[in-house]
Amino acid sequence: MTRLRVRYADTDRMGVVYYANYLVWFEVARTEWLRATGWSYREMERDGLTLPVIEAHCEYRQPARYDDEVDIAARATLLTPVRIRFDYEVTRPADATLAAVGYTVHAAVDAAGKPCRLPARVREMLA
């Protein structure tokens, strides 16, 4: 779980979080999830693996606004030996309101940019 405070720069003219920022928050939560497993994106890339986003989806339920705190939960699921899906929930902890839900799908790609199998350590984390 990652907690952020909505910055003024995150909002649109109506004072609501700009829709694309949810995808940025998904990335923050995904990065922290990976770090919590003991393997950072930097280390993963150093080991020759990247996880580009090949699909993204977000459903906006209730608005988040300037200065709100939001919690972003990320959960990973192995889809295939070469694909992983992350599901996200964005909530406002002050009132337990679900602001958004979404997911991203990632392909495992080697240093040459070719699809590859997810390493055993990743598959084991998700089993």
pLDDT in tens, 65-92: 999 999 999 999 989 999 999 999 999 9
Catalytic residues: 12
Mean pLDDT of 84-107: 97
pLDDT at 119: 87
Round the average pLDDT of the chain to a whole number and report it: 94
How long is the chain? 127
Please, what is the Cα angle at 23 between 61 and 11, to 5 degrees? 70
Rounded Cα gap, residues 100 and 23, in angstroms: 10
CATH number for the domain spanning 54: value is: 3.10.129.10
Domain hosting residue 37, numbered range: 2-126
pLDDT in tens, 23-37: 999 999 999 999 998
pLDDT at 65: 97
pLDDT at 125: 79
Residue 24 token pair: 């940025």
Rounded Cα gap, residues 73 and 53, in angstroms: 18
Total structural domains in the chain?
1
Residue type, position 127, single letter: A
Rounded Cα gap, residues 59 and 89, in angstroms: 10
Q: How confident is the model at residue 124 (pLDDT cuts 50, 70, 90)?
A: confident
pLDDT at 105: 98
Q: Determine phi and psi for 50, rounding to 5 degrees.
A: -125, 160
